[in-house]
Structure 1
Amino acid sequence: MPEKTKILFTHNTAMWYRIPFFRKLAELYDLDLVFTHINVIQDIYDNELDKKIRGLEEVNYTILENKHGFAKGLIKKACSNNEFVIGGSWDTIQELIESLILFFITKIKREKFIIWREDWDWKKENNLKEKILNIVIKYLTNHSDAILVPGTLHKQYFHDKLGVSENKIHIMPNVSNISGINENITKSQTDKKILYVGRLIPRKGINYLIEAYSKLKKEVDNIQLLIIGSGPEEDSLKEYVKENNIEDVAFLGKIENNELKEYYQESNLVVIPSINKGMGDPWVFVLNEAMYYGNPVIATTAVGAAPDMIKDNGFIVPEKDSDSLYNAMYEIITDNELEKKMSQESVNIIKKEFQYSNMINAFIKTIESIK
């Protein structure tokens, strides 16, 4: 039996939707999985992880402690014998320095270095810090052996803006592990539900959704807006709804992932109204989840996944444009046949293009292309 390919796979944290992916990689390769900044999941999603990560019991993984923002023990891991190293992050200065160290150690040892990122060409500040960062990122990406990205916007960014050779950039689709259809739940055609799921922060653009819904509610009575999530914008959004007497808006707070499925399955439409505020949304897994449960979807141009996931199953609208949101919502919510058609198309797209098998196959092809 041939020896498995040795891979050092560094990643910031253990998001729940990555667990099946890591588990499958561990079956295929001699995988050394290293989490460098495990608290990211708590900072972003307010989720806590135990030292033992559920679902990775059979996987060789290490959680590195952080000191002054740096992952202790990463250099030691980089100095171990590997054939491929997956890494590359620049969300903080510490992560950028770690990436450079990891890159140079890998290159000195003549191992293959692969970057996995979700950046795309959202609007950035034109300051000295960004210019210096861009120079460093250009160097890293152009001297790596391959770049893994989730979609076409991301590939265009690395090729068009950073000058990376197109044959080095590989699309590995993002996949969510939410599942479990309840055959007893159906979508009502008389009392329709429009759903938002996500953090309540300025970058998510929920105020534009509420403005669009307010206009829609004046013309369509049998609808309600469900807002799932928590965050610093919650009080101001609730106040806006109250002051403007907008009916049938329910703020449901944070709901655990295993309970979200019922809301997705009962909804008639899911809207992702993100805006560019310092950055765009790198992907937004709510799209995957909404489509799995047969929802038509509307997303803005600030959503990284939109061009790959929204085809005949919804609409992409300009960011910060409540009128365009209203028009798209009106078209879907008032046409039962269109809603059903888009619902089925969402399921078709997910089944064909966004399964873990698609993700794994893309990873395997990337490894094979640079062996």
Structure 2
Amino acid sequence: MKFCMVLEFFTPHYNGGGERRYYELTKRLVECGHQVDVLTMRVKDAPDHETINGVNIHRLGPVIENPPIRSKSDFIKYFKCVISWIRTHNYSIIDAQAYSPLLSGLVASKVTKTPIIATIYDTSCNSQDQWIQFSRLASIAEKTLTKLPYDKILTISDATYNSLVNDFGVSESKLKMLYIGVDIKGIDKVKAEPKGENHILFVGRLVPHKHVDHLLEVVNNIKDKIPDIKLTIVGKGVEKDNLVEYIKEHNLEDHVEFMCDLENDELTYQMKIANMLVLPSTREGFGMVLSEANACHTPTVAYASGGVVEVVEDGVSGYLIEPENKEQLQEKILYILKNKDVECELSQKGRMHVEAKFDWDSIVNDYIKLAYEIINNKK
């Protein structure tokens, strides 16, 4: 088969959970003998065409200076470029990622009579902090785009699956759920020092719904009890300036460090040396960093939102917290930091949980079967 993946950005120039999922999926599709083209927006200082692990990356349309920030005109130009590209290339199937690529992918699908999978990671909760840009327009677009006539909608958690059915009226016959896998072999190849003490890690975009500010409040509250507390924040985004301002106002410079644009091995190293990974997010389709942390023998603490409840086994691989309950968040973080035996037990059981539930090989095999079924049904 020849796959066309449509998404706005791709690794290594943007490393969101969705982008990293496509990276892991597409390289395995190539290993299985399939051809893969990825169509993304152009990014400053990135080549228009390159091949990564056998995957052909084609960057089209406007040049984006600071992903993921883009203008309405950027969306329109990219939309036109995607349709033009697919019209002049032959593909077995198109896979378009939510949300803006869905429309261009669908139009191209109809024009070329190519079957299409719509990949939707999560849905909004109609809250102002759930969108990075154009929140009112994005909310309207979500309601429209979820109802378009794709051949299949692929979700990555039961939570998103159920939301599409119950909140957006999507027929279950149109839906398929496949989890995001974990590259356990790749993780195990990365060597790291033994874990230190009192080291917390956050990995993700610095956007409002990730609530990194809640984590900073916790660090500020416990720094007198644990003077050597350290928080490493891996990511970038629109909230960084606000976070830096909070750090300065509360004299947290010695307790917090920022990192960004880490390669996969560098990110794995940070997960391995941390005592826990914390994700205080109120919108997550899955929470890929949580399963990866567990694979690194690192416990997790997260708000119980969306697909997170399917990744973290509460009290086994980590702890689930009532969303926005900062007191409970602080309580569980302190509990792990003060009880090394608890940290060790969560570490061991978390690794076992990932091995049993999130194997990439079986997930990719199911994805290939799904693609064949869709193509055959289209004939």
Per the alignment, residue 268 of structure 1 pairs with 275
Per the alignment, residue 200 of structure 2 pairs with 194
5+ residue gaps, structure 2, are: 13-19, 63-73, 129-134
Q: 1:19 aligns with which of 20, 23, 43?
A: 23
Q: How many residues align?
A: 343
Per the alignment, residue 295 of structure 2 pairs with 292
| Equivalent-residue separation in structure 2 for 1:138 and 1:267 (angstroms) | 38
Matched-pair contact (CA < 8 Å) for 1:147–1:169: yes
SS in 2 for 1:74: helix
Per the alignment, residue 86 of structure 1 pairs with 95
Question: Following TM superposition, by how much is the alpha carbon of 1:329 offset from its aligned partner in structure 2, in angstroms?
Answer: 0.9
Q: 2:120 aligns with which of 117, 122, 127?
A: 117
| Equivalent-residue separation in structure 1 for 2:90 and 2:236 (angstroms) | 44
Per the alignment, residue 363 of structure 1 pairs with 367
Paired AA for residue 118 in structure 1: Y
| Equivalent-residue separation in structure 1 for 2:212 and 2:358 (angstroms) | 26
Per the alignment, residue 41 of structure 2 pairs with 37
Matched-pair contact (CA < 8 Å) for 2:232–2:256: yes
Question: Following TM superposition, by how much is the alpha carbon of 1:217 offset from its aligned partner in structure 2, in angstroms?
Answer: 3.4
Q: 2:50 aligns with which of 23, 46, 53?
A: 53
Larger Rg: 1
| Equivalent-residue separation in structure 1 for 2:102 and 2:268 (angstroms) | 36
Q: 2:162 aligns with which of 153, 156, 159?
A: 156
| Equivalent-residue separation in structure 1 for 2:97 and 2:303 (angstroms) | 28
Per the alignment, residue 310 of structure 2 pairs with 308
Question: Following TM superposition, by how much is the alpha carbon of 1:298 offset from its aligned partner in structure 2, in angstroms?
Answer: 0.9
Per the alignment, residue 45 of structure 1 pairs with none
Question: Following TM superposition, by how much is the alpha carbon of 1:323 offset from its aligned partner in structure 2, in angstroms?
Answer: 0.8
Matched-pair contact (CA < 8 Å) for 1:197–1:286: yes
- Over 3 Å counting, the alpha-carbon distance change for 1:236 and 1:117 in structure 2 is closer
Q: 1:324 aligns with which of 323, 328, 334?
A: 328
State the identity as a percent: 22
Question: Following TM superposition, by how much is the alpha carbon of 1:325 offset from its aligned partner in structure 2, in angstroms?
Answer: 0.8
Q: 2:256 aligns with which of 246, 250, 258?
A: 250
Paired AA for residue 365 in structure 2: N
Question: Following TM superposition, by how much is the alpha carbon of 1:291 offset from its aligned partner in structure 2, in angstroms?
Answer: 1.9
Paired AA for residue 279 in structure 2: I
| Equivalent-residue separation in structure 2 for 1:200 and 1:11 (angstroms) | 20
Query: Under a length normalisation based on structure 1, what TM-score does the superposition of the two structures give?
Result: 0.78
Question: Following TM superposition, by how much is the alpha carbon of 1:116 offset from its aligned partner in structure 2, in angstroms?
Answer: 1.3
- Over 3 Å counting, the alpha-carbon distance change for 1:159 and 1:294 in structure 2 is same
Matched-pair contact (CA < 8 Å) for 1:13–1:36: yes
SS in 2 for 1:53: strand
Paired AA for residue 50 in structure 2: I
| Equivalent-residue separation in structure 2 for 1:114 and 1:245 (angstroms) | 49
5+ residue gaps, structure 1, are: 43-47
CA RMSD of aligned residues (A): 3.3
| Equivalent-residue separation in structure 1 for 2:235 and 2:103 (angstroms) | 34
